[in-house]
Amino acid sequence: MGWKPTAQPGVRFREHKNRSYRGKPDRYYVIRYKKNGKLIGEAVGWSHEGMNTQKASIIRAKLVDNIRTGQHPQSMKEMRTMDADRIEAEKRAVAEEERLNITLNTVAQEYLAGLNESTRKANTSRYNNHIKPLFGNTPLRNIDPLSLERFKRKLLKKGLSPKTVHHTLAIIRTIYKRAVAWDYYSGSVPTDKVEFPKFNNKRLRWLTHDEADQLLKALAERSPQTHDQALIALQSGLRSGEIRAMKWRDLDFKNGIITLPDTKAGDSQQAFMTDEIKVTLLDRIPKNASPNEYVFPGKGGKVQGHISDTFKRTIFDIGFNEGVEDRRNKVVFHTLRHTFCSWLAMQGTPLFTIQQLARHKTLAMTERYSHLLPDHKQDAVKAMAEVFNRHRSTVQQLHENRQVKTLGKK
């Protein structure tokens, strides 16, 4: 079917043979105009796309006027390109506005979801109780150091310990760092200008050999599983979470090695089995055990959420914490790891070796055990003095012999 003119100059259309729109044949509109003395024809669209004679005429008039005044666009192709660029720019502007207004809670949920179970539980509790009510719906860009400083003072005034406040601020700091890494945020991290509360969290308590033996005997009578976990902590220095996360595939009985794929320090690391640990673990292997099964499974075969409360009750019954006020001196499950390091130091193990066995990130973390090392420095000074005194005695004897010979000649 050929082109049909319209009442508007330079606008014409043709009708589709089969397709209709609103009860009439669908029309395809084109416009014609001159540019640099050349007649140009361009399609502007179908009726079903919203085009009609009036709209086509307005578009043509705009192009003709732009050609006359030297503005743009000067063609349908250029107009479509400019429209596409404008739409893309608008999308980018909307995305940037959304990014600028992203709330702390949006990033926090992604951050918390990526943590292991035990860490997620503790951090989620702190976030929901202290951070979310005040800052959850606040855009990251609107939280400043002064707001956080007031937040810190408020928590301390409520009676929260410096350690809890420190950890709470650390969660906010981590959320911001994740936001930067994920391109959600490009500003400064406000916690960098907030002084975190200081606290001394170093545990002082370690068990003597007699105390450790007493504890293991009491646990064996009450809970074989808790006994085995305590034994492993004492003789390998593994953390509670590392013991609970152990799977049969992580155990190399031939070489006496425990592989720790998900450690606090980060990368895959190793711990070593004593003969007693090896026998204890071999006795625990169930028939047809799967390599992916947990050595100490929780409910439904999942990872155990925490060490059984049997441990706390046993410590209470034994009386290890009776009358102890300073929490650093209280016996908890982590005391067993502290005991492992303390025993190594007491037998003269170099600090660097203890650091490797305990998988401490820095030697500074291990230096807390330096006071338990045998006093090799004092022994070295004594040995030096003894050598000097022996030398001095020899010189003195030679001097006396010379005096005797001199007197004899006279």
- The Cα–Cα gap between 402 and 259 comes to 71
Condensed to tens digits (0 to 9), the pLDDT of residues 296-310 reads 999 888 999 889 999
For residues 308 and 226, the answer to whether their CB atoms sit within 8 Å is yes
Q: Determine which of 149-158, 322-331, 374-383 has the lowest per-residue pLDDT on average.
A: 374-383
Confidence of residue 94 (pLDDT cuts 50, 70, 90): confident
The residue ranges of every structural domain in the chain are 4-98, 104-193, 209-372, 381-410
pTM above 0.75, yes or no: no
Determine the pLDDT at residue 265: 47
Q: Give all strands (DSSP E) within 138-191, no chain letters.
A: none
The position carrying tokens 């400043």 is 144
Per the CB < 8 A criterion, the answer to whether 192 and 180 are in contact is no
Mean pLDDT rounded to a whole number for the chain: 88
Q: How many helices (H) and strands (E) does the chain have?
A: 16, 7
pLDDT of 248 above 80: yes
Grade residue 403 by pLDDT with cuts at 50, 70 and 90.
Answer: low
- Residues with Cβ within 8 Å of 398's Cβ and at least 6 positions away in sequence, in order, are none
Matching CATH number, 209-372, of 3.90.226.10, 3.40.50.720, 1.10.443.10, 1.10.540.10: 1.10.443.10
Which strands make up the sheet holding 251-252, listed edge to edge?
251-252, 257-260, 269-272
14 pLDDT above the threshold of 90: yes
Give the start-end residues of each E strand in 231-311.
251-252, 257-260, 269-272
Instruction: Return the DSSP state at 129.
Output: I
Find the angle CA(69)-CA(71)-CA(75) to the nearest 5 degrees: 110
The listed CATH number (1.10.287.110, 3.90.930.12, 1.10.150.130, 3.40.50.2020) that belongs to domain 104-193: 1.10.150.130
For residue 406, the model assigns a pLDDT of 56
Does residue 5 have a pLDDT over 70?
yes
Query: Is residue 340 predicted with pLDDT exceeding 70?
Result: yes
Q: Cβ atoms within 10 A of the Cβ of 72, count?
A: 13
pLDDT tens for residues 261-307? 754 444 568 999 999 999 999 999 988 889 999 999 998 889 998 89
What Rg do the C-alpha atoms of the chain give, in angstroms? 40
Minimum mean pLDDT among 139-148, 292-301, 360-369, 377-386: which range?
377-386
What's the mean pLDDT in 132-139?
94
Q: Do domains 104-193 and 209-372 have the same CATH topology?
A: no
Cα dist. 12→16, 27, 29 in Å?
14, 10, 6
Query: Two tokens at 373?
Result: 């090392």
